Amino acid sequence: MPKSGVMADEITYRLNELSSRLKAAAGKYTDAARQIEKLQAENTRLKEDHDKMTEEIRMLREEVFLLKASLDPLDEKDKKEFQKIINEYLKTIDKCIAVLKM
Q: List the chain domain ranges.
A: 2-71, 73-102
Please state the length of the chain.
102
Q: Which residues of the chain have pLDDT under 70?
A: 1-3
Cβ within 8 Å of residue 68, ≥6 positions away: 78
pLDDT at 30: 96
Note the pLDDT of residue 37.
97
Predicted local confidence at residue 69, as pLDDT: 73
For the chain, counts of helices (H) and of strands (E): 2, 0
In this structure, which amino acid lies at residue 94?
D
Is residue 74 a contact partner of residue 82, using CB atoms and an 8 Å limit?
Answer: yes
Write out the DSSP string of the chain: -HHHHHHHHHHHHHHHHHHHHHHHHHHHHHHHHHHHHHHHHHHHHHHHHHHHHHHHHHHHHHHHHHHHHHHS---HHHHHHHHHHHHHHHHHHHHHHHHHH-
pTM score > 0.75 for this model?
no
